[in-house]
Structure 1
Amino acid sequence: MRAFIKRLLSLYPVRRPLSILALMAIDAVALLAGLLIAGYLVAGENRVSEIFYLAPVLLTVWLSLFAANGLYDRAPERRNPGALLAAILLGAGLFAFGSVIYPETQFVLGEILVAAALALLLDGGLRLLYEQGIEFIYRRGFGLITTVVVGDEESRRKVRRIIEQQPSAYSVVGELGMSGDRVDLGLLRRILDRTGARNVVLAGAERLPDEEFLSLLHSMRLRGVRVRVVPGTITLMSGRSILSQRVGMPLMEVGYPQLDNNQRLMKRVLDIAGAAGGLVVLSPLLLAVAVLIKLTSPGPVFFKQKRVGADETVFLCYKFRSMYQDAERRQAELEAENEADGAIFKIRKDPRVTPVGRFIRRWSIDELPQLINVLKGEMSLVGPRPLPLRDYERMDEHHKQRLSAVPGITGYWQISGRSDLSFEEMVRLDLYYIKNWSLSLDLKIILKTLKVVVTHEGAY
């Protein structure tokens, strides 16, 4: 149970919704209790049932005011007692105004003032207990945001000392020095892989050239790792710094243009809808193929292989097993017969492929389990194909530029010849896709993929 809670709280996308829901529940309980007690004290028992009847409207108005006053934002904003007081007084004012327009609510000024005072005391107390509980959870090691600190030695020491002294959600699990005016991205990736850190605090960002800084941001974005920067003196003097997570120092969270975020969110929505819909619609076919594979050759139904995805992250890629069990061991024996150039390995009449495997490869059915990878966020419906570790290790550095996008089940390469193209042509097409990506291009590729699958172009 402890491990489950720790895992749940470590998922950053879940933390914010959970926090907001918990705070809204606290506020609703405090506000409703204030209204009920005030109603009972002023008008007696009969008033309680009337307030219950009005409760949905009253709570909706009051909670909306709480949201407008930043009481569901991050810790520094939501802990402002002035914002809580302002939201409750605004709500009381609206109720007083509403009671004049709609006298059937039967609210009187005394009842409203008592309700506001009680709600302020109850909500303030409950919110204080909530914040104390959050700090207790952090001290027990739950919900910590694992962090890698990047910067020169002195800056890293200062950041680490402040984080360790403050009861915050941050936990330093790794450090990386800066080599002059650059960050070793390869080493940073290895540290992130080893520690599982989901946050990077960068001290000394002003010393990085623009191109170096943007490469770092792009790399971290592909990994879903947040980047926060310790601002320099000039930035602090401008008054625009953002105090993040009450960590004891000003931290600026670096974001991307909203338009770009919206497009990528839409791409993710398309991925989830397409993958979930595909698994449901194709479930009879998937089940039939699974049975055929199990009946015709020994071994598991699915083939799981380590592949290299966005920003050189390694994940398990799912496919229907189309080869005999000893296929990976036999690959070393067949290297001399490789018909593909560059880093990839392909043989048209591969002796390791089973009869059923040859059929499902011809119709690209073996790739369908990768819809699971799409749901997990490891792949997209459209993007560069993820290559096995064997192929990745044989790539030149300039080939690895194709890893600057989330890999896909289909892509520009698949609709342009697939296995009939050389490795260099595949890389060139992948880079073209990355540089010219748009949702409309994704949709065109998906439609053209259907034609390619039906005509078996480049499939073997």
Structure 2
Amino acid sequence: MTSAFRAVATPRSEVPLRSSGYASEARRSPRTSPVLERRRRWERRYRLNLWISDAAIIIAFCVFSTVLRLQMLDPNLIAEDPGIIARIPLITSVGWLVALSAFGTRESELFGSGVTEYTRVAQATGFAFGLLAIAFIVFQWPGLRTQLLVSLPFGLLVLLASRWLWRRWLLRRRRFGEYVSRAFVVGAHDEVAFVLRRLGTTWALGYQVVGASLSDRPVSSIAVDGHAYPVVGSVYDAAATAHRLGADAIIVASQPDEDPDFVQRLSQQMVGTAAELVIGGRLADVAGPRISLRPLEGLPLIQVKIPTFEGGAHVVKRAFDLVVSSLALLVTLPIALVVAIIIKLGDGGPVFYRQKRVGRDGREFDMLKFRSMRVGADAERALLLAQNEGSGPLFKMRNDPRVTHVGRILRKHSLDELPQFWNVFIGDMSVVGPRPPLPSEVTTYDGRVYRRLYIKPGITGPWQVGGRSNLSWDESVRLDLHYVENWSVLDDLRIMWRTVGVMLKPEGAY
């Protein structure tokens, strides 16, 4: 065994916070390092931006509601109670801002998170106005009713729009390496590679990996998707190594099997030098939002909720599908008529294309699409198999000669999929779900991939907003399985919103 490997694999019982003088400073609390202070500076700057915009919006709507009440509904009220023009907006504004702070809507872990941030803002707003409604009933303060009718709906809408704009600004800055956490990843080679691969494709999470440390291989670097990350030091020196590299976050992809106290000790060593200790890897990817902490008599337990595929949540999903598909069929009817006429005038062939797909529980159904290929294209597929660019059982060609000129435009903007809202309406599909597979694909599935068939396939889904045809087969399966086990109505709304952006700025569609 080489000395390099021993440095990686041999555990230590303890690593001091400082390389020297530890005994004399053991009772002194750790001081904030320059690395940690740098991170806190940009966090404070961004949090201040959010606070200023929140305050400006809230005060503006609260004052506007009071003025509206006085000028349009009860102009004589100000003569009877001159303090009302200041008192009511002040009470509402302060209560609203305090609720936003109490609900942690500006915490650093929410920066750039999207749905979670918007949900907290909505919850804080609902809580604040719930208390105001009680105050209105108890004290009968004039003017509070207008706050409830005007400031609550319109103020919340503008507040969410403001948070969305700030999020877009933050994501743009992160593209240039600003407002990011410098991360150091530790664990076994395969688990570290898994985390690096995910972080490399999801820069919006705000992590810039500066290095890694492996517990099982004596290598100098780890290559993932064409990018090499330096491997530095031992996992047992992770805190000191991360500090030396200027990292303010450590991601634990896996911990050494022979050291059950590894994470606890690492968290203690990071005090004063880093802001985040993130537990990553495949457990978080599989369980996702189903993970919760459950302390039991001082014993910290990680509880993973087992997914169910029937019951109230799925009834809500079906009701949601009916409402959305009904509205979509009505709204897109003019566009569908124009597309149908163009296709018919193009070559005189049929407007619609019916294709067998596999739905929930393996049941086959006819999926509708606007025809984007020439008539008889299915019979030509066998001649093109040698040019297949798809991964796994998928057949994909970037420049498929069977696709018509009109069809390329339809595919690029996903307009060929509009008739699938009918499939949603009659119950064969869902608005959001896994990609609908062909019967020939299903015959290649193993036991794990069959889980994609536990719920209805969708018009859009994580594969649609995550890269479409650019995704590998394994990545497509991973995204679908994660959705199947962790979906929620809020997540469906997020995917639908992102789908609109993908349609306007298509990427990976062919």
- Specify the TM-score bucket, using the shorter chain as the normaliser: 0.3 to 0.5
TM-score (norm 2): 0.39
Question: 1 or 2 for the larger relative contact order (CA 8 Å, sep ≥6)?
Answer: 2
